[in-house]
Amino acid sequence: MRRLRNISLSLLAAVAFTSLIEAAEIAPGERRSGASFMSVETQAMQNDATANPGMLGVLDGEALWTRKPVAGRACADCHGDASSMRGVAVRYPAFDDKLNRPVDLEQRVNLCRVDHQQLPPLADESRDLLALTALIGRQSQGMPIETGADSRLQAFIDKGRDAFMRRQGQLNLACTNCHDDNWDKRLAGSAITQAHPTGYPVYRLEWQGLGSLKRRLRNCMIGVRAQPYSADAPEMVELELYLMSRARGMASETPAVRP
């Protein structure tokens, strides 16, 4: 019993020690989408637009896009057809001139609602907000992610990177420990991926529904027993920003299917 404990303690120490060494970011040529870690069946579910459950959210989004509120304008009244959103989601999180900080796509939609439609903001993870971000994201399908090209974002990307590299929680793990250093291994039967958010909002089989990147990040933080960021915390957007800029050049898959 004691021998077993000693072995597991030294294993923990080994993991801790190896991470004191500067964690190497994944080489651009080695980057792989989370889809490539999934089973053939789940990949097939994602690739068939009529069998991808995330597409139900896109359908809902199409209805919401043209729906006229009681007083005011529908999204379509300013933006025209949803296809005008092509290329938008792959630039997010983006710098907002008025707020002088980055905002993610969910925040952008709510800013539009409040500023231009005189409507209350949609709640995080609400069906309508997920439907709209799924619709907007879908318009960029297959396009390369461009997030972070704006130089004004650099300071925020750096803060997001610091958060990614920082140990946290009772398990004292940093995101990089798994997602940069151990992405070719498995954790309790599930593949550890490289954590590229190429397909959000994502239909996660575990949730049996669509969910945002923020929800997934909260899952991760709860997983290491850290206090998760709240949805509107600047740290959350900075981390999303870092993750998207880390995935720059990879193709957008929204709505992706993930286990």
Partner 1 sequence: MAEPDRTTRRQFLATAGAAVLGTVSLVHVGPVHATPDTMKAAIRDVVNGAAVRPGKVKLDVPPLVENGNTVPLTVTVTSPMSDADHVVSIHIFNEKNPQPNVGNFYISPRAGRAQISTRIRLADTQTLTAIAKLSDGSFWSATADVVVTLAACTEEAT
Partner 2 sequence: MASALINVPATARRGDIIEIKTLMSHIMETGFRHTVTGEVIPRNIITNFTCRYNGDEVFRADLFPAFSANPFISFFTVATESGKFEFQWIGDNGFQETASASITVT
CB of 69 to partner 1, least distance (A): 32
Burial (Cβ within 10 Å: 0-12, 13-18, ≥19) of residue 230: exposed
| Residue at token pair 């915390």 | 233
CB of 217 to partner 2, least distance (A): 23
CB 183 within 8 A of CB 173: no
CB 244 within 8 A of CB 197: yes
Burial (Cβ within 10 Å: 0-12, 13-18, ≥19) of residue 90: buried
| Max CA separation in the chain (angstroms) | 71
Nearer to partner 2, 16 or 51 (CB): 51
Which phi and psi angles does 184 have, rounded to 5°? -95, 10
Q: How many residues bind partner 2 (CB under 8 A)?
A: 12
CB of 165 to partner 2, least distance (A): 34
Task: Enumerate residues 6+ apart whose C-beta is below 8 A from 203.
Answer: 52, 53, 54, 57, 209, 210, 255, 256, 257, 258
CA 167 from chain centre, in angstroms, equals: 20
Q: How many CB atoms lie within 10 A of CB 134?
A: 27
Annotated active-site residue 112? The verdict is: no
Q: Site for partner 2 (CB under 8 A): which residue of 7, 16, 48, 81? A: 48
Q: Hey, which residues between 38 and 97 contact partner 1 (CB under 8 A)?
A: 38-39, 41-42, 44-45
220 binds, among partner 2, partner 1, none (CB under 5 to 8 A by kind): partner 1
CB of 53 to partner 2, least distance (A): 4
Q: Site for partner 2 (CB under 8 A): which residue of 50, 83, 100, 170? A: 50
Candidate ranges 33-41, 55-63, 98-106, 130-138; the one touching partner 1 (CB under 8 A): 33-41
Q: Hey, which residues between 165 and 184 contact partner 1 (CB under 8 A)?
A: 170-171
Q: Site for partner 2 (CB under 8 A): which residue of 55, 94, 103, 257? A: 55
Query: Helix, strand or coil for residue 144?
Result: strand
Candidate ranges 51-59, 72-80, 138-146, 222-230; the one touching partner 2 (CB under 8 A): 51-59
Angle between helices 234-246 and 213-223 (to 10 degrees): 100
Nearer to partner 1, 121 or 223 (CB): 223
Candidate ranges 53-61, 73-81, 100-108, 147-155; the one touching partner 2 (CB under 8 A): 53-61
125 is a site residue for partner 2 (CB under 8 A) = no
**Under the rule (CB under 8 A), what is the footprint of partner 2?**
48-51, 53, 55-56, 59-60, 63, 208-209
Q: Which residues are catalytic?
A: 220
